[in-house]
Amino acid sequence: MSKSWKVALVFVGIFLAGGIAGGFVSLLAARSFVRQRGGPTEFAIVHKGRFHEALKLSPTQKTRIDAIVDETSEELKKVRRETGRLLQSMETRISAELTADQRREFDAMQQRWRDRRGKLSPGGSDVRGGKHPAQPGPVRPGESRTP
């Protein structure tokens, strides 16, 4: 093999290794983002803290804006519950189409997904309404965990 082909193969190898490493780093960053994001309750706490601190709200504004944020948080909870119902319906319908062996594998796949979701979103609620173990992420500068 000529020297130029060897050099080209080395560059291709380096490029592929960089792509694979970048993929893993992106995956870790996405998991971290999901962990810190939390669920609808965390949404309300974080947003209230941000608004109170950054906007220097009057007591009347705090009361009105907190009500808006709480209302939005409740709507988000409803959307998550509805999403859970839709996913459960999909799983039931898919399961009905499978053989016994496929159904066992499908059930195992679903359990792995639920286990993984529990690890990615501590403190948030599962789309089916179940709670994950509470492990709140760090408080970012300018944020508060108390309303």
CB atoms within 10 A of CB 70: 15
- Is residue 142 included in any domain, yes or no? no
- Is residue 55 included in any domain, yes or no? yes
- Is residue 27 included in any domain, yes or no? no
**Total domains in the fold of the chain:** 1
- Is residue 116 included in any domain, yes or no? yes
Provide Rg for the chain, Cα atoms: 23
Per-residue pLDDT tens digits for 76-116: 889 988 998 999 999 999 999 999 999 999 999 989 988 88
Per-residue pLDDT tens digits for 6-32: 888 888 888 888 888 888 788 777 666
Range of the domain at 73: 38-120
- Is residue 46 included in any domain, yes or no? yes
CB atoms within 10 A of CB 147: 12
- Is residue 3 included in any domain, yes or no? no
CA distances from 135 to 30, 32, 67, 82, 132 (A): 17, 13, 26, 25, 9
- Is residue 104 included in any domain, yes or no? yes
